[in-house]
Structure 1
Amino acid sequence: MPIIVLFYKECGLDLADIFILKSIYSIAMVSLEIPTGYLADVWGRRNCLIAGCIFCFLGFSNYSISDTFTAFFLSEVLLGFGQSLVSGADSALLYDTMLHYKKEDEYLKYEGRVTMIGNFSEAFAGIFSGLLAVYSLRLPFYVQSGIAFIGIPAAIALTEHAAKTRIKNSFANIVQIIRYSLFTNKELCYNIMFSGIIGAATLTMAWFVQPLLIELDTPTTWFGIIWTILNLTVGISALYSDKLDQRLGSMKMYTLILFFITGGYIAVAFNVSYIGLVCLFFFYIVRGFATPILKGYINQITFSEMRATVLSIRNFVIRLMFAAMAPLVGWLHDLYSLSIALQATAVIIFVPGLLFLILQYRYKPKEPSV
């Protein structure tokens, strides 16, 4: 990730092409996101994680030997399918494990630790990718393929505690869960939509980091170092997410997250300089505690037998939003400037985010959440 934009540019792609590829990845995820979430509920979380890791390994392996848009297209589809099998199943398996050991109240703490470990791992990998890229921009992909392979035996080693759901009419049950999550249960719907919008915002900003560094003429070796510091920031912030949530409460957290995320876009847009880079670090602090907190809210009001499907609906919203706006912001960057692209993204995120924030303020459940 820290050097992939440089890699794409070496292969002759511009930012619009890059965002199109990322849209393809998101569309591949979106096409299977909810079915694979349901598959995790009926086939098993562990089985989906194993299959997802295999797809991801194939996708990165193809990347390591490719240099054309068409080949990258295939890799993004493989990676999208792989990630759709993993997303939802991982958090659902974690929450069900906490239920098994009667520690569900500590879920947010452990989800925060998962986020922290993931970002710490990505942070240290960022240092090495920057150093490897000095010798060859393709070398990090060879190493990435090996790292991706490790996920397969890791997934095989997991233990699953949740019972698999047995349903006669799978399609009808998926539709029922979607209707319940997005229409019947208003509280769950507003949580999913708000979390999805914020997720799309943080994902999009991740793809703006490298164009910002390129604008600042940052040396290649510093790409990995800066990426490392950003991910360490996310990891440390995620570690304290449960304490912050306990102190502020859900509604104050929603408000803080929305205004700091959109404010981060505006701050960077009007400071395409090293000041903007500093603003980016504050954005990543908010990103660190936003992810586990918002996923935790959804888990608290979701039944176990549909947990992976519901989390996949959240991921579906994230990827659908990203797939819709990524080509637009990439085009705005190439045609106008990075600042214009960031400002447009801030508006796209803030308007629906504010709508669902207001709906959550106005909505009061008739009975306590299950």
Structure 2
Amino acid sequence: MSFKRDRMFYKFSMYGFLKNLRFFDPFMVLFFREAGLSFFAIGALYAIRDISTNILEIPTGIYADMFGRRKSMIMAFVSYIISFAIFYFFSNYYFFALAMVFFAFGEAFRSGTHKALILEYLRINHMEDVKVDYYGHTRGASQFGSAISSLIAAALVFYSGSYHYIFIASVIPYVLDLINLSTYPKELDGEIGKVEKGTLKKQMKATLKDFVMIFKNFEAMKVVLNSSSFSAFFKVSKEYLQPILKAFAISLPLFLAVDNIKRTSLIVGIVYFVIYLLTSYASRNSAKISKRFKNLPAAVNITYFIGAVFIALAGISVNYKIQVLAILLLLVLYVLQNLRRPMNVSLISEKISHKTMASGLSVESQITTILMAIFAPLMGIVADKIGIGWALALFGTFMLLMGGFVKVKEVK
């Protein structure tokens, strides 16, 4: 490793590990389907979450820049915990929507903020030259947390025979992460404004000005659009892995003595464990792999087009009932996303001032949520009408076409 593993490195890694102990992640769509929701209704819930996140991005970004990134992270985790509790105690669609809004509060307070904390730490300690490697390793810890989470979640579903308990169980690691965040040094808050009478409006205008300036930087916006569009396509497409895994699990002549939920939990748990082990490895080695390309923009462009082709091929595989191939293709899509993420963060950080990094990275998150809010219901309609396979195939083709518009300018 080219950087020191000091105390903050382990705190950052612990944050990611605990944050990704979301036991509901591998079963969220299956939870909604068991509740009787159509793919369109599920897509609408995701749209509610994403639109709410989008609306809250600017005020929560300002909050982080004014009152400190650490306080913003604490607000995020409190919102998440409330969301988990609602999902556990209620089964009504409107309560699901309310839980999604609280989850959106968490996403809005968190998005870009923790990355800004890491980048601020690297800037203070003159370690900016290793940001891809450093961030990749901390993200690797997050993905390892997801791998462990999938096994624990599978065990919870198998022994309880229900998806409900995975929500209340997710509260425990989030409380532990709140404690971890409270120990972060104050200096990582960056340059924040003093909250005095009459200065709030002025500070909001200054922060919004910095926020708007990002949109005027064409090169920065190309990088942001490339990253956010890939993330949106990935996040919407990956949700269909769960019903594909369920169909695959039910078709297997194994575990016939247990019901479909328990059979599915075993397959889902194993597959997601493998996925997150691979994505953890990909994140930790993102810097090494990016060096195999002539430059970072080339790596970002090539992986974008590979991702689009794989989504389309996954859909075709489902149509021809080759579920194993579809699962493998979507698995590789997870790896691509986690290879790309440290690369994108590095490229974006080169175009945005460290003083407004929390707001700057929120721009990327905001565009992602806008695209997801559009794509999720539309893909749900297609999946309900003509099937998951066609939805993925059409979606991948559209992503391929969009790739020409978001291609990042390569360094000569």
Taking structure 1 as the reference length, the TM-score comes to 0.93
Verify the 8 A CA contact 2:207 2:356 in the aligned structure 1: no
Give the secondary-structure state (helix, strand or coil) at the position aligned to 2:107.
helix
1:351 to 382, 394, 401: 401
Please state if 1:269 is matched with 2:315: yes
1:72-111 to 2 correspondences below 5 Å: 72-111=96-135
Deviation at 1:165, TM superposition (A): 4.3
Matched, 1:255 2:304: no
1:42 and 1:251 map into 2 onto residues whose CA distance is 33
Q: Which moved more, 1:254-263 or 1:319-328?
A: 254-263
Unaligned runs of 5+ in 1: 365-370
Matched, 1:61 2:85: yes
* SS at structure 1 position matched to 2:239: helix
Question: For structure 2, which runs of at least 5 residues remain unmatched after alignment?
Answer: 1-24, 251-262
2:359 to 282, 302, 309: 309
User: Aligned with 1:354: secondary structure?
Assistant: coil
Number of corresponding residues? 361
Partner AA of 2:280 in structure 1: G
Corresponding residue for 1:368?
none
> Which of 273, 277, 290 lines up with 1:245 in the alignment?
290
Q: Say if 2:54 is the partner of 1:30.
A: yes
Contact kept? 1:37, 1:311, Cα under 8 Å: no
Identity %: 21
1:189-200 equivalences in 2 (<5 Å):
189-200=221-232
RMSD of aligned Cα (Å): 1.8
**Correspondence list, 1:1-370, <5 A:** 1-134=25-158, 135=160, 136-161=162-187, 162-165=190-193, 169-183=202-216, 185-218=217-250, 219-220=263-264, 221-248=266-293, 249-272=295-318, 273-357=323-407, 360-361=409-410
Moved more, 315-324 or 212-221: 212-221
Counterpart amino acid of residue 178 in structure 1: F
Deviations 1:102-138 (A, max 9, x none): 1111111121112211111011110111121122221
Q: Report the 3-state secondary structure (helix = DSSP H, G, I; strand = E; otherwise coil) of the residue aligned with 2:237.
A: helix
1:163-186, Cα deviation, whole Å (9 max, x unpaired): 214675244334422331112x11
Q: In the alignment, residue 206 of structure 2 is paired with which amino acid?
A: N
Contact 2:313 2:393 (C-alpha < 8 Å) held by counterparts: no
Contact 1:269 1:338 (8 Å CA) reproduced? yes
- Deviations along 1:9-63, one digit per CA (max 9) or x if unpaired, are 2222122211111111111111111321232122111010011111111111111
CA offsets 1:260-319 (integer angstroms, 9 cap, x no match): 110110120111211111222222221121111111110122111111101000000111
In the alignment, residue 80 of structure 2 is paired with which amino acid? Answer: C
Which sits farther off after the overlay, 309-318 or 286-295?
A: 286-295
Q: 1:38 touches 1:306 (CA, 8 Å); kept in 2?
A: no
